[in-house]
Structure 1
Amino acid sequence: MDREIPKEEIKKRRNKRIIRAAAIVFIIFTCFIIVEKWLGQSVNRSDLIFSTVDRGTIEVSVNASGKVVPIFEEIINSPINSRIIETYKKSGDPVDAGTPILKLDLQSAETDYKKGQDDEQMRISKLQQMKVDQNTKLTDLTMQIRVAQMKLSRMRVEMHSERYLDSIGASTRDNVHQKEMNYNVARIELEQQKKQLINERLSCAAEYKVQKLDLDMFIKSLGEIRRTLEDAKIRAPRKAILTYINNQIGSQITQGQQVAVISDLSHFKITGEIADSYGDRISVGGKAIVKIGNKTINGIISSVTPLSKNGVINFTVQLKDDKNSVLRSGLNTDIYVINSVKSDVMRIANSAYYTGPGVYDLFVANSNGEIVKRKVKLGEAGFDYVEVLSGLKPGDKVVVSDMNDYKDKNKLKLKN
């Protein structure tokens, strides 16, 4: 028959099992720590981006920031002080040339214009009356001269007759002298009248010219008022999209205040800015590459502001594909302005690791399935490639993805 196991034996066996289980747990935990540490020294090859060092051409560029804007945008301002009575469109609506956009209160301006028209007619009438008065005055002077000429002719005949009578003893020398004096006085008076006529003609012409010029200026100013009234009937100047409209009915607006904006949202350009220290590297006609997300679009610099403002220079990029689907008004972009070309240089792919010329710690793959940190000196860069000055040779495979998580490591194993 079975014997009962002593309690001491049972307790001893239980303690052995506990010790054995604890040892197993400790061994498993120690192995886990070792494996975890070993895994921390490795990285998946598929998580990395490699670039093979080769020789080739680099289009050297400088970075600038930019914004997508419509290739055409026009701000419509109020030409007069008025208030908004009615709006016919809303933001986002397409408009054709001549399409009414909003209505301003023009009653006061139209009243002033009608008064101006009445004033114009009055000025024209006054000018015509002045012309009639001048013609009458000149005609009177002309008739007086003709009469004076007739009198002078008669006096000349009388003077010659008196001389003849004096020669035959039928007159006296005093009578001849009197006739001669009368003739000379009449001749001088005729010359004076002729000069007066000439001066009067010049004076009338000058006065008429001044009054006519004043009338022309008034008519011109009235024409400006008429054009202002036409402009105050706010219409779209061309086919576009209405991107802004002041739709506050009844609100007062001042002359020159913005009331609407129309834009061509089918074509775009880039407005960029770059530090003025790079001003010598940017010029009209230069090549530029615009990056929006993962998309790149080539372009040409079409204009550069001549002056620096707040330490930056503004410029405009005309895109070769200005209708690309990624273009949206207001999007921020990166611009790479090409300023020179380097041929037959060592190069690697450009990526986020590059922040400018200098010495970098880059991981390079070796034949043992590892990547090893190496000091590499880099030069100038383009959009696609960075110039390698030293530390690498053609054929080396360099990690160009973000390695900040491993910046304290000198060597990592590659896992397939």
Structure 2
Amino acid sequence: MDRVIQKKKWSTKRILTIAGIVAVCGLIAASLYFTSGKSRLNVDTERITISEIKKGSFQEFIPVNGIVLPVTTIYLDAMEGGRVEEKYVDDGTEMKKGQPILRLSNTDLQLGLVTQQTNVYNLLTQMQISRNAAQQNTVNKLNQMTDVESQLKEAERVYKLNKHLYEQKAIGLQEFKQAENNYNYYMQKKSLTKTILKQDSSSNLQQLTQARQSYEGSQNALNVMRKKVGDLIVRAPVDGQLTSLDAEIGQNKNKGERLGQLDVTSGFKVRADIDEHYISRIFPGLMGDFTLSDKTYKLKIKKVYTQVTNGRFQVDMEFTEAVPQGIRRGQTLQIRLALGDETQAILLAKGGFFQQTGGNWIFKVSENGNVAYKVDVQLGRQNPDYYEVLQGLKPGDKVVTSSYENYGNMQELVLKAGNSQ
């Protein structure tokens, strides 16, 4: 009788197959585990900068360079062209108003002055002759008037006498009419002489007025010419310091050409250059300060020049309080220009991390201080010392603020004291 032989359930072959499968799965699982884990880098804490987030007063400001200038600068231009004949002073001289600086010569102007003077003298002589002639003519007309009045009186006397005699039948009509006609003739002659005298006086007055106006016009032209010749001597328009003089003896200067400048030394201002990025945020009244000889001085923007040159524009600032002792024209100042009022904010110290992260994330140190890991942050305003933190960090947190240049795509930094990579 045959016996049924039972087949073994776990054969050696099957066990080996299952073991192989398990080993492969284990390898796959290990691979996934190790590749999916965070990339880490050991970092020596002595080679990095760890800063603590804190809350405090924050004011947005930018550093700008300013140059000290006199509060007023007056440019000296040649009012008239000419050749430099003489220099009375040199650069740096303290000038008084009206004090001569240099003398130019201009032959054409000087000849023009002589010609104009001659014209004025000729007009004056002609006006004197015309006035004398007018006066003589008036005297003659007055003499004529006197003669006519005398003749009229005599004719009137004869007329009245003959009229009385005619009424008495002592003389005839013919003699009476002759006396009457003679009287009427002298009456008309007197009226005509008076009219002529009046017209002559008006004509003389008009001629004298025209001659006087012509003379005054020529005199004004002479005064202008004298001033033009006088402008050949360049004088200080105000009290101040002559800070530049671009003229040498024998040099020809054209009309309007710059000769130098005069600085009014009664005060100073500061002219600062600012990046055009801030042009929409700069306006008169903004405050700034600088430190000189361990003392802080305040400035205020007085004027903004909106013209942009090479990516920068300028502003003029004035001292609001004391002016530093011994400050000089051309001195450079390092100014902190405030762009807003002081407020409370969460502060993150500036560092090299920003170049690699753009301020979008940062390595935050864990509570035990062993690891620093990436966290997303949002930064707002900034000044040369701090960034304003809007999101992602709170006061008391510690972060790595030094450069991330050598960290590549690392997710975590393992912080170890005294060890370097």
Q: Normalized against structure 1, the TM-score is what?
A: 0.65
CA contact (8 A) 2:351 2:403 kept: no
**2:43 aligned with 1:39, yes or no?**
yes
1:165 correspondence with 2:159: no
**CA-CA distance at 1:110 after TM superposition:** 3.9
Which SS does the other structure have where 1:80 is aligned?
A: coil
Residue aligning to 1:83: 83
Contact 2:66 2:333 in 1 (8 A): yes
Structure 2: which 5+ residue stretches go unaligned? 1-40
Cα separation, partners in 2 of 1:381 and 1:172, compared to 1, 3 Å: farther
Give the letter for the 1:124 counterpart: L
How far residue 308 of structure 1 moved from its aligned partner, in angstroms, is 6.8
What residue number does 2:132 align with?
Answer: 132
Instruction: Using the TM superposition, give the Cα deviation of residue 259 of structure 1 relative to its aligned residue in structure 2, in angstroms.
Output: 1.8
2:330: which partner in 1?
329
Deviation string 1:247-293 (CA, Å, 9 cap, x unpaired) is: 4442221111112223356843234678699679634xx23326699
Partner of 1:209: 209
Q: Which sections of structure 1, spanning at least 5 residues, go unmatched?
A: 1-36
CA distance in 1, matches of 2:51, 2:329: 30
AA in 2 matched with 1:52: K
- What's the offset of the Cα at 1:64? 8.4
Query: CA RMSD for the aligned pairs?
Result: 4.8
Alignment CA distance shift 1:207-1:397 (3 Å): farther
Structure 1 Cα separation of the partners of residues 338 and 90 of structure 2: 39
Match of 1:53 in 2: 55
Cα distance in 2, alignment partners of residues 88 and 393 from structure 1: 71
SS of corresponding position for 2:213 = helix
Measure the CA separation in 2 of the matches of 1:219 and 1:52: 82
1:346 aligns with 2:356: no
Q: Match of 1:95, as an amino acid?
A: E
- C-alpha distance in structure 1 between counterparts of 2:183 and 2:52, whole Å: 122
Alignment of 1:242-321 (within 5 A): 242-264=242-264, 267-271=267-271, 282-283=283-284, 286-289=285-288, 297-303=297-303, 316-320=316-320, 321=322
SS class of match (2:170): coil
1:128 CA drift (Å): 2.6
CA–CA distance in structure 1, aligned partners of residues 52 and 265 of structure 2? 40
Change (3 A) 1:382 1:169: farther
The Cα offsets for residues 199-235 of structure 1, whole Å up to 9 and x where unpaired, read as 3333333332332233233333333333333332234
Are the structure 2 counterparts of residues 375 and 89 from structure 1 closer, same or farther at C-alpha, using a change threshold of 3 Å? Answer: farther
Q: How many Å separate the matches in 2 of 1:385 and 1:371?
A: 21
Across the two proteins, how many residue pairs are aligned to each other? 367
Cα displacement (A) at 1:86: 4.1
Report what 1:74 is aligned to: 74
Conserved 8 A contact 2:83-2:105: yes
Q: Larger radius of gyration, structure 1 or 2?
A: 2
| Contact preservation (8 Å) 1:95, 1:236 | no
Q: Bigger shift: 253-262 or 164-173?
A: 164-173
Trace 1:158-197 onto structure 2 (pairs within 5 A): 158-173=158-173, 176-197=176-197
Cα 1:184–1:415 change in 2 (3 A) is farther
Question: Shift of residue 142 of structure 1?
Answer: 2.5
Once the two structures are superposed, residues 176-204 of structure 1 have per-residue CA deviations (whole angstroms, 9 ceiling, x without a partner) of 55544444443344333333333333333
Report Cα offsets for 1:61-101 as digits up to 9, x if no partner.
Answer: 7998865433222222222221123445544x323225554
For residues 334-372 of structure 1, the C-alpha deviation after alignment (integer angstroms, 9 at most, x for no partner) is: 68475x657x65364897999xxx975466676545776
Q: Does 1:226 align with 2:207?
A: no
CA distance, structure 2, for counterparts of residue 119 and residue 164 of structure 1: 67
- Quote the Cα distance in structure 1 between the aligned partners of 2:242 and 2:251: 20
2:350, 2:261 → 1: CA distance?
40
Q: Flag the 1:295–1:164 CA change in 2: closer, same or farther, 3 A.
A: same
Structure 1 counterpart of 2:143: 143
Counterpart code for 2:283: I
SS at match of 2:260: strand
Give the whole-Å Cα distance in 2 for the aligned partners of 1:192 and 1:350.
110
Deviates more, 1:237-246 or 1:287-296: 287-296
**1 CA distance for matches of 2:238 and 2:231?**
14
Contact in 2 for aligned 1:292/1:326 (Cα 8 Å): no
SS in 2 for 1:289: strand
1: CA distance, partners of 2:402 / 2:187: 113
2: distance between equivalents of 1:334 and 1:379? Answer: 22
Distance across 1 between alignment mates of 2:186 and 2:277: 87
Query: Is the counterpart of residue 95 in structure 1 residue 94 in structure 2?
Result: yes
Query: TM-score, length-normalised on structure 2?
Result: 0.65
Offset at residue 146 of structure 1 (A) = 2.7
In structure 2, C-alpha distance between the alignment counterparts of 1:90 and 1:160, rounded to whole Å:
96
Aligned equivalents of 1:255 and 1:99: distance in 2?
A: 21
> By how many angstroms is 1:106 displaced?
4.8
2:234 aligns to what SS in structure 1?
Answer: coil
